Chain A
Amino acid sequence: MVESRVDKQADEQVDVLIIGAGASGAAAAWNLAETKMRIVCLEQGEWMNPSDYPSTTRDFEARSFGEFSISPNNRGRITDYPINDDHSPIKIANFNGVGGGTILYAGHYPRFHPSDFRVRSLDGVADDWPIDYETLAPFYDQDDQITGVSGLVGDPAYPAHPPKNSLMPPLPLGRAGETVARGFNARGWHWWPSDSAIATQPYEGRDRCINLGACLSGCAQGAKASTDITYWPAAIRAGVELRTRCRVSAVTVDDNDRATGAIYFDADGVRQHIRAEVVVLAMNGVGTPRILLNSTSQRFPNGLANSSGLVGRNLMFHPYASISGVFEEAQDGYRGPIDCLWSQEFYETRDEHDFLRGYTFEMTRGRGAVMTALGGMASGRIPWGAAHHDAYRALHNRITGMVAICEDLPEAHNTVTLDPHLKDSDGVPSPRIDYTLSENSRNMLDHAVARATDVLRAAGAVDVLSESPLAVGGWHLMGTARMGTDPETSVVNEWGRSHDVKNLFIVDGSVFVTSAGVNPTRTISALALYITDSMKQRLANLFD
């Protein structure tokens, strides 16, 4: 049994143990706080200090390649764990700290569509979710209030009922937004201001966006809603205890198939055990299967909650393509948030396509001086030598474009497993990623590059740059502990409880059945609120 491996046991007992303090863990903690149970969250990373974010220093672009890299392998903080993603064309992006991935995300904050929960019924592929859009709608609304969402009501790509309200005006279009919008209009295609987790006016103690342009390395202004400044302060005020630098290695169980707590390593590397009546996993689509697979015992030799054999399977990313135009007129360049507008013209399955499902175009506003030069030199557009300066100036502040975020369908052979050799600094096995880009995804990416090129040319681009798939695009980690009503084909039930272990819950992106063609954070947060609300509704018979 796992418990027999504990070197040093504390006597500590809590009611609810949450593992992970990112988007889902924060929402879960906040929502459970009103129960007045003793709730402890263990987070392997640390609190972030916004004054340390790169945008406060002149070398902000350089720092985004190092200590604030989206790749844990490049970043290499003591709070990170290495990931073997050599067997995947798409590399893992994450952040370990209070706030998790929301520290480094762009803040694009779309909802899923009603159709995203009915993929099998509508298109005959993958599976339907055991819940629908209407079930999540009130929790989307609740999350919107805590997060503070900017946008514009009336997006024709979403149903009018239930309404998707906006709490703040949209981010500015700027020159770049106008350029791209004209391109979409020239083609007669949909576009709309993005829903964004960036405050455009003072909101709940956060100040408005001042267009720092460095959203992807942490928002020093605090305008971007990372959960360390949204959910967590409220949850802590309500009594939740958050402990940083506590790296969980395994969930422990008893002879009755109940979770009893978790083994973790504290900041000094000392192995500890915490006991809990309920364990909630909130580590993301790679971290959660890693810990479940490392939680082996006589009763669960293949990992905890894994009687279906699906823990770690069906890993979904969103394959990304990046398509940018070069314009003769100045755009926004390094100024302003990446978020601006999106297009869902090609979001749904069409007979004329050679792929099923679809994608969203999300505008990427511009590039900083360093990124402009690096991209230009890497592509050969900016040479070495005397011609460097003129070539650079032809690109400086003149690039804008978009990414295509493609729906990834679940495939059992795309997996998270435990690497037999690689370990983190506490000796916990690291995850290994095995992922193959499907033909459906390749066709979708090709379609997206062609259509984006059409848009940018129509907008006046004199040159178009593209990369597909985007190798560094493994931001969204989903599907590795899917939800469903059948224990043989899912890991958790329709309200997030493990089929095998009745007091074990999963609230992160692992439970996604399908990926949709949009960023997942808003849905992750809404799901965490929904699952923890379901727990609260069933407190009297939670383990039946």
Chain B
Amino acid sequence: MNSENIISSDGPLSAVQQRMLRRVLQAMIPPSEVHQVPGADDPTIVAAILMAGAQQLPLLTPALDALHTYIETSNDSAGQDRAAESQDLAVEWFREQHPEIAGLLMALTIQCYYRDDRVMASLDMEPRPPFPQGYEVSDGDWSLLDPVRARGPIYRPTNNS
């Protein structure tokens, strides 16, 4: 299954809007072979973003349409051989022209990306909620308090203390 299928069957985005969304997400967090993590345009992560951001989609879609128009216009003027470069620049244009939408999309993306099993595994995190297992935290070295104790009281006396 690819992301287009997921989005097309379940979501309100048009095919063009889906393509624009994936382009922005891929530019935000691309996949990494070194860290063995997917990009934010991974189908599972995209589906999670759309689910988490369902209420915000009406804000997002006009900006994605504008991005598509910008790319089309750039391609017409630059020629197909420079399309890839134009599309990189297009994402920069998107961030500059729609900073609030870019910020919203970034927040949604981060919330979904960093709870993906593959990403958590790459960060040596167990893919589970905190409860009920919890976590271990070391008790620490309490001898660090020795100099504080040695210094003595620091409170401010009043007439009654």
Contact = CB atoms under 8 A, between A and B. Distances in A.
Interface of A: 53, 55-62, 65, 113-115, 117-118, 121-122, 132-134, 152, 154, 156-161, 172-175, 177-178, 181-182, 184-185, 188, 190-193, 210-214, 220-221, 332, 334-336, 344-345, 347-348, 369-370, 373-374, 377, 384-386, 388-389, 393, 396
B51 to A, nearest CB: 10
Contact of A335 (B135, B148, B157): B135
Given A377-B110, A396-B123, A156 B145 contact: no
Given A178-B140, A185-B144, A154 B134 contact: no
Which 7 residue pairs of A and B lie closest in terms of their CB atoms, listed nearest first? A173-B140, A210-B134, A335-B135, A62-B111, A336-B137, A212-B130, A369-B114
A124 to B, nearest CB: 15
Contacts of A213: 130, 135
Contact of A191 (B28, B128, B148): B148
B138 A212 contact: no
A56 B148 contact: no
A369 B123 contact: yes
Contact of B144 (A61, A115, A173): A173
16 contacts: A58-B128, A113-B156, A114-B160, A115-B155, A118-B158, A134-B161, A159-B153, A181-B144, A190-B154, A336-B137, A344-B154, A347-B156, A370-B114, A374-B107, A384-B28, A385-B28
B30 A385 contact: yes
A57 B132 CA distance: 10
Nearest to B30: A386
Contacts of A385: 27-28, 30
Interface in B134-150: 134-142, 144-145, 147-149
Given A56-B132, A114-B161, A173-B138, 12 more contacts: A173-B141, A175-B140, A212-B131, A213-B135, A220-B130, A221-B132, A335-B135, A369-B114, A369-B125, A384-B28, A388-B28, A388-B29
Contacts of B138: 172-175
B30 A61 contact: no
B78 to A, nearest CB: 21
A384 B157 CA distance: 54
A122 B135 contact: no
Interface stretch (B6-14, B32-40, B68-76): B32-40
B94 to A, nearest CB: 11
B80 to A, nearest CB: 24
Nearest to B142: A173
B129 interface: yes
A345 B148 CA distance: 11
Contacts of B147: 185, 188
A461 B32 CA distance: 28
B152 interface: yes
A374 B141 CA distance: 32
A503 B140 CA distance: 52
Given A173-B139, A211-B137, A57 B129 contact: yes
Interface in B39-94: 52, 91
A369 B120 contact: yes
Contacts of A370: 110-111, 114-115
Contacts of B151: 156, 188, 190
B109 to A, nearest CB: 9
B155 A156 contact: yes
A448 to B, nearest CB: 17
Contacts of B135: 210-213, 334-336
B158 A214 contact: no
